[in-house]
Copies of this chain bind each other. A is one copy, B any other.
Amino acid sequence: MTNTYGMAGKAAMKTARFGLGLAGAERGERDLGSVLKALQSHAARQRFERNALICSEGDAARTIYKIVSGTVRLCRHMADGRRHIADFLLPGDIFGLAEGGRQPFTAEAISDLSLIAYPRVQFDRMAEESALVRANLLAHLSENLAAARYHHFVLGCQNSKERVMSFLIRLAARSDVFAGDHLELPMGRQDIADHLGLTIETVSRAIGALKAEGAISLPSAHEIILNSLNHRNAVAA
């Protein structure tokens, strides 16, 4: 009965209510996005072009980024050339909050990008003063943790086709796209492969197989349609 892709939905992640303090937030500051708006006077809009470097793993984490438009990959480059993509950031996503003093990942623009940079000191000040901000921060961390755990499961238990399907479903849910809608795939096959622990060829073949099964349609290589959110077909295979 358990949905194998259970954690995938944005809804599921956002509704994870954090038990600690101030669960019922005042209107207007219900999420971190709204909280950050209060820092607008200290914020700076920045633009990056495709493949530009936003920040590097190990950099001092003095900035909180909020994606306005475009897509970002969070990755680590290994000495031996292997690359690990931890996650993708979509418009509305916030990055640079969850960590200690160092950036845990290199952030790179996948498509032309617009973001807002907030100085972290300002946010920290707010967090010290406002219990509500702290509750939002905890909820944010909690969501990240849930997402990381879900991904752990995907890599630990699923085969290539299941992984790709899980990825597409999560992406659709995060993009507020439903079955039948067009879903843009800004990242390349290699990015998806490095995220799912597969090779580019296997990703391509898995997508082809899902298409052949009728689970998805692909009008173009970077645009897909999920034909059903009954993912059983992918799981069964």
Using CB atoms and an 8 Å cutoff, list the residues of chain A in contact with chain B: 1-2, 4, 16-21, 61, 76, 78-80, 82, 84, 86, 98-101, 104, 120, 124, 127-128, 131, 134, 137-138, 141-142, 144-146, 148-149, 151-153, 155-157, 194-197, 235
Contact = CB atoms under 8 A, between A and B. Distances in A.
13 contacts: A1-B79, A4-B78, A16-B100, A19-B124, A21-B127, A84-B153, A86-B149, A138-B138, A144-B145, A148-B148, A152-B155, A156-B194, A156-B196
Contact of A19 (B120, B155, B196): B120
B156 A101 contact: no
Contacts of A2: 78-79
A128 B104 CA distance: 28
Contacts of A78: 2, 4, 157
B146 A145 contact: no
A197 B155 contact: yes
A214 B181 CA distance: 55
A159 to B, nearest CB: 11
B120 A157 contact: no
B98 A145 contact: yes
Copies of this chain, tallied across the complex: 2
Contacts of A98: 142, 145
Given A20-B127, A84-B152, A152-B86, A157 B100 contact: no
Contacts of A151: 152
Nearest to A60: B19
A166 to B, nearest CB: 13
Most chain B CB atoms below 10 A, which of A2, A21, A151, A152: A152
A78 B3 CA distance: 9
Given A84-B153, A155-B155, A101 B19 contact: yes
B153 A156 contact: no
Contacts of A131: 128
Given A155-B155, A157-B84, A100 B17 contact: yes
A18 B20 CA distance: 19
A174 to B, nearest CB: 17
A152 B157 contact: no
